[in-house]
Structure 1
Amino acid sequence: MTLYARITGTGSHLPARRLTNDDMAALLAQRGLQTSDEWIVERTGIRTRHFAADGEMASDLALQASLQALAAAGRQPHEVDLIVVATSTPDMVFPSTATILQRKLHEAAQAQGGHGPIGAAAFDVQAVCTGFIYALTVADALIRTGTARCALVVGAEVFSRILNFDDRTTCVLFGDGAGAVVLEATEHDGSGPGVLATDIHADGRHTGILCVPGTVAGGQVLGDPLLRMDGQAVFKLAVGVLEETARTTLAKAGMTETDLDWLVPHQANIRIMQSTARKLKLPMERVVVTVDQHGNTSAASIPLALDHAVRAGRIQPGQLLMLEGVGGGFTWGSALVRY
């Protein structure tokens, strides 16, 4: 028997403020820029997105998603012994958003007469839109080695804070949100539920095609703190590496694309998802798509899409899922999961 990390619960959360493409068009018109619902949908598949309220942080979104995931898993916060948060929009420079989430989970548990995961290891992972795959891979490895038994893996973003609203080609793409899963140790012969294989990569030669080239120095912002993207370069790289990483992960598990029940991709652009599905010979009916409702929520997009499909009853126990994403860095990766 082999030790695996099994997903026992999922959760997600979106900020209350919802903006349609018409809302974005009106916002941009105030800046003398033009766009339209038709233009955005045709190029991206996005129809709406959610923006966080003033003062609403990544950890606040992560908390709500985490509480949902814990409830779905039938676990209490104090049972968690590992917290990994994937985010490119942390609450502060340090400490990690994961430790802030840990405190908020403890406070939420105390309000119910319990206590939270104080003492659990907690840290952030930064791989932009591939962040959740990286975080899942790390948590899976720690569970397989026996370092952890019950992990909370979260993707949480407030990308609305780093968007350049004078760039109509990028500001319409992104939204805020959070998704979470509970991973628990389980033993079986390889035919049961769990993370069966993962694959993660990066190529730092392409840092400039998707980046926020700013930092804090001497109490001031140094550089540009807003998102920049070369959309054509990202698209060209993404469609190639997504097929490659999916096939690599399947090969590690001794499987092929014909074994897959669902593709749960990073929700960046419907065209990228359609291209990947074609390469893997999967009909779009077996691809989980939420980009139309959420936009690109970066590290939150995969767990958000996963949770929505689980709660809608589309993803069922025993089915085989391919989770994959690409992001700034340039990073990419995938995870094969028996749900």
Structure 2
Amino acid sequence: MKGAKITAIGSYVPVSRLTNSDLEQLVDTNDEWIVQRTGIRERRISREDEYTSDLCIAAVRNLLTRYGKSAADIDMVLVATSTADFSFPSVASIIQHRLGIPLTVGAFDVSAACAGFVYALHTAHAYVASGLHRKVLVVGADALSKITDYTDRSTCILFGDGAGAVLVETDEQQDRFLGYHLGSDGGGAHHVYRTGLSHTVNGVELGGSGKLVQNGREVFKWAVRTVPQGVQRVLDNAGATLEQVDWFIPHSANLRMIEPVCERLNYPLSQALYSLEYFGNTSAASIPLALDLGIREGKVHSGQRVLLYGFGAGLAHAGVLTELQLDEQVAPPDVL
């Protein structure tokens, strides 16, 4: 077994903003109500001709520029998304071509909704630590505005678009991935899903026009119960304690969900990073966006331990504890 580490990060969000005031013109809501219940003030919305692959490419280019990296020696591409441009080909294959990554490189998408980035990161670690690959590109991206029902005020206030990317490379000294935990409860699959062909899941008839549907109350109860337990299992697997975690980065679903999770863990909310305030819930992109925001703001540094925990549709969840080993940046990040 070899070691693996995260060496570089990049991110991208579309230019267009959808503020709470804008939503007041679409549905029966207001800024105070949204902020009080979610902590979200605005979200970024992709152009009509801007797709998940475009978000991914912009995020990866940001990474390559900032850290002076080359796409020529990437030997695997993983993309976590629920909003692929097509059912097939994969977003990973599209960006492999457009970024000039060698034709001998494997590329595939990971489907685990809001837990997708951590699942993909865990997969990348396995490839690198096993010695099968040396430099894996991991991207979490979603264009949720394209599947959001803007007549449903319970969901349209939450979701936005964005992408985040990291490189996982070989570490010749030690493994910087310290612990993990994965889980899924398909018995709750009908609580958050994207409609499609009429189908019955767990005795519930699901159908519709390709839009996102969520039972927020049930997802909230599941997450607040499940995430603290999962975090503890990550720590147990790593032989670590919460006191040794510098930053906790949960999926940015809703600030009112993150608060009770931190309370149950007895972990300071001030050490939890999230990207939802100005980007909304960006699904697979929310964790890398939050990590990169922390780096951009000078909070997160190489050598620190971060615990990432994703959770969402499936109901799938995944956590990873890693010690960052970021290379030195050679160019400033783009303004988000």
Deviation at 1:215, TM superposition (A): 4.7
| 8 A contact 2:275–2:287 mirrored in 1 | no
Counterpart amino acid of residue 322 in structure 2: V
Tell me which of 165, 170, 173 is aligned to 1:180.
Answer: 165
Deviation at 1:280, TM superposition (A): 2.1
| 8 A contact 1:4–1:196 mirrored in 2 | no
Residue in 1 aligned with 2:4? 5
Tell me which of 272, 294, 298 is aligned to 2:279.
Answer: 294
CA–CA distance in structure 2, aligned partners of residues 289 and 183 of structure 1: 22
CA–CA distance in structure 1, aligned partners of residues 197 and 144 of structure 2: 16
CA–CA distance in structure 2, aligned partners of residues 158 and 215 of structure 1: 21
SS of alignment partner, residue 78 of structure 1: coil
Counterpart amino acid of residue 120 in structure 2: A
Tell me which of 145, 148, 167 is aligned to 2:133.
Answer: 148
Q: 1:196 to 1:74 in 2, by over 3 A?
A: farther
Residue in 2 aligned with 1:112? none
Counterpart check, 1:212 vs 2:194? yes
CA–CA distance in structure 2, aligned partners of residues 189 and 230 of structure 1: 43
Map 1:1-339 to 2 at 5 A: 3-28=2-27, 34-106=28-100, 116-189=101-174, 194-215=176-197, 223-339=208-324
**TM-score normalised according to structure 1 size:** 0.90
Deviation at 1:150, TM superposition (A): 0.3
Q: CA RMSD in A?
A: 1.4
CA–CA distance in structure 1, aligned partners of residues 102 and 68 of structure 2: 15
CA–CA distance in structure 2, aligned partners of residues 21 and 97 of structure 1: 31
SS of alignment partner, residue 123 of structure 2: helix
Residue in 2 aligned with 1:113? none
SS of alignment partner, residue 7 of structure 1: strand
Counterpart amino acid of residue 180 in structure 2: T
Deviation at 1:180, TM superposition (A): 0.6
SS of alignment partner, residue 218 of structure 2: helix
CA–CA distance in structure 1, aligned partners of residues 50 and 232 of structure 2: 39
SS of alignment partner, residue 239 of structure 2: coil
**TM-score normalised according to structure 2 size:** 0.91
CA–CA distance in structure 2, aligned partners of residues 91 and 50 of structure 1: 18
CA–CA distance in structure 2, aligned partners of residues 96 and 71 of structure 1: 24
| 8 A contact 2:13–2:161 mirrored in 1 | yes
CA–CA distance in structure 2, aligned partners of residues 71 and 149 of structure 1: 20
| 8 A contact 2:160–2:282 mirrored in 1 | yes
Deviation at 1:117, TM superposition (A): 3.2
SS of alignment partner, residue 307 of structure 2: strand
CA–CA distance in structure 1, aligned partners of residues 89 and 197 of structure 2: 16
SS of alignment partner, residue 252 of structure 1: helix
Deviation at 1:74, TM superposition (A): 2.9
| 8 A contact 2:26–2:151 mirrored in 1 | no
CA–CA distance in structure 2, aligned partners of residues 15 and 271 of structure 1: 25
Counterpart amino acid of residue 243 in structure 2: T
CA–CA distance in structure 1, aligned partners of residues 68 and 239 of structure 2: 32
| 1:61-120 Cα shifts (integer Å, max 9, x gaps) | 0001111223344320111001000000001110100000111111xxxxxxxxx33321
Count of residue correspondences: 316
CA–CA distance in structure 2, aligned partners of residues 259 and 200 of structure 1: 21
SS of alignment partner, residue 188 of structure 1: coil
SS of alignment partner, residue 149 of structure 2: coil
SS of alignment partner, residue 34 of structure 2: helix
SS of alignment partner, residue 99 of structure 2: helix
Q: Give the ranges of 4+ consecutive aligned residues of structure 1 lying more than 6 Å apart after TM superposition.
A: none
Could you tell me the percent identity over the aligned residues? 41
Gaps of 5+ in 1: 29-33, 107-115, 217-221
| 1:274-323 Cα shifts (integer Å, max 9, x gaps) | 11212222212111122111100000000111111112211011111110
SS of alignment partner, residue 132 of structure 2: coil
Gaps of 5+ in 2: 199-206, 325-336
Residue in 1 aligned with 2:334? none
CA–CA distance in structure 2, aligned partners of residues 71 and 199 of structure 1: 32
CA–CA distance in structure 1, aligned partners of residues 165 and 197 of structure 2: 28
CA–CA distance in structure 2, aligned partners of residues 8 and 311 of structure 1: 15
Deviation at 1:189, TM superposition (A): 4.3
